[in-house]
């Protein structure tokens, strides 16, 4: 079966390392594992930032492996009962994530513009709530924002706006702000192939030190990213699986888990298996705020807090009398 068919229909190729059931034990709290290194140690993303950056940068053009990796990350995040927003600039390749618990996916230009504006709104509301000491960072549930092929996002949004002027926040600049300060308000960013200037900007390089490389990287960018540019240029250096490169670590060869099609389908034996608890969580969350114009349950409070900046009232009043409507 070719890799394209694998990505589209969830086939289980025998030469790939399948997502494990159950998960490995002994992983740090709030870690999101996505594979193993050559020594058999788990490769993971630590949302607390104690072992890795709180954001993640993914580079390369190996599309089937990338799709499997993104699915693994979504599964790992939602198993911590965290919300995930996915900006899918490809339009179709990640549509199977729509039905995954706690995950909201935008595919079309209209959806991308709306979801990015919503992400930015939540980001600014969180900053305001923390700065005003109305909430502590620990009170904010973590939200993960995944942007597939971020370099294409600006062009899609530009086409969406008829007058040629994008509304505030509907650009990659909004993601840049989250990359720099999002960890202060428990917002985490996964960026796949961002615009070239992201990789040469010193501030963003510090904000995104952890990178997964899946396939060759442009030589000019590789030179800017690593002392040894062959890390990203020579396909042979990571043709088998991929590389995990941190700010202060030597590159580690990793095998990313292959995660098949996630959409629950009784006729697709290759669909990702779910436990009864996960199936129940999907059923419940379909009726909750994930399917309306909210990212997390706590964002209802944040929306109310944002409103009180212009119309002061007590915190108790804001959280009980000014809740956004639930249209589920």
* Sign, Cα dihedral of 271, 275, 279, 284: negative
Question: pTM to 2 decimals?
Answer: 0.75
- Report the range out of 15-19, 42-46, 281-285, 316-320 with the highest average pLDDT: 42-46
User: For 7-29, what is each residue's pLDDT tens digit?
Assistant: 333 333 446 677 776 677 788 88
User: For 169-216, what is each residue's pLDDT tens digit?
Assistant: 556 788 999 999 999 999 999 999 888 888 888 888 888 888 888 877
Q: d(Cα 295, Cα 289) in Å, to the nearest integer?
A: 7
Domain coordinates of the chain in residue numbers? 28-258
- Strands 242-245, 211-213: parallel, antiparallel or unpaired by DSSP? antiparallel
At residue 110, the pLDDT reads 84
299 vs 12: which has the higher pLDDT: 299
Any idea which architecture 28-258 has in CATH? Answer: 3-Layer(aba) Sandwich (3.40)
């Amino acid at each position: 079966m070719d890799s394209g068919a694998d990505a589209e229909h969830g086939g289980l190729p025998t030469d790939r390392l399948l997502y494990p059931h159950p998960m490995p034990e002994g992983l740090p709290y709030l870690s999101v594992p996505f594979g193993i290194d050559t020594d058999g140690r788990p490769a993971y993303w630590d949302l607390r930032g104690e072992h890795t950056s709180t954001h993640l940068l993914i580079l390369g053009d190996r599309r089937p492996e990338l799709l499997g990796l993104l699915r693994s990350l979504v599964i790992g995040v939602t198993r911590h009962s965290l919300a995930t927003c996915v900006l899918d600039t490809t339009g179709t390749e990640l549509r199977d994530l729509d039905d995954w618990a706690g995950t909201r996916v935008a595919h079309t230009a209209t959806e991308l513009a709306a979801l990015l504006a919503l992400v930015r709104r939540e980001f600014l509301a969180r900053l305001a709530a923390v700065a005003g000491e109305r909430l502590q960072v620990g009170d904010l549930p973590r939200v993960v924002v995944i942007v597939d092929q971020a370099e294409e996002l600006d062009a899609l949004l530009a086409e969406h706006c008829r007058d040629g002027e994008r509304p505030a926040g509907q650009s990659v600049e909004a993601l840049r702000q989250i990359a720099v300060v999002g960890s202060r308000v428990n917002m985490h960013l996964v960026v796949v192939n961002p615009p070239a200037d992201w990789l040469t900007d010193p501030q963003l390089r510090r904000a995104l030190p952890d990178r997964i490389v899946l396939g060759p990287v442009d030589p000019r960018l590789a030179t800017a990213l690593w002392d040894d540019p062959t890390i990203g240029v020579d396909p042979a250096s990571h043709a088998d699986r991929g590389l995990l490169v941190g700010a202060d670590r030597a590159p580690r060869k990793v095998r990313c888990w292959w995660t098949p099609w996630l959409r629950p389908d009784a006729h697709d034996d290759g669909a990702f298996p779910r436990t009864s608890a996960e199936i129940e969580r999907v059923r419940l969350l379909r009726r909750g705020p994930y399917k309306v114009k909210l990212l997390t349950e706590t964002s209802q409070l944040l929306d109310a807090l944002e409103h009180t900046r212009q119309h002061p009232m007590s915190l108790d009043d804001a959280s009980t009398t000014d809740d956004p409507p639930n249209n589920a």
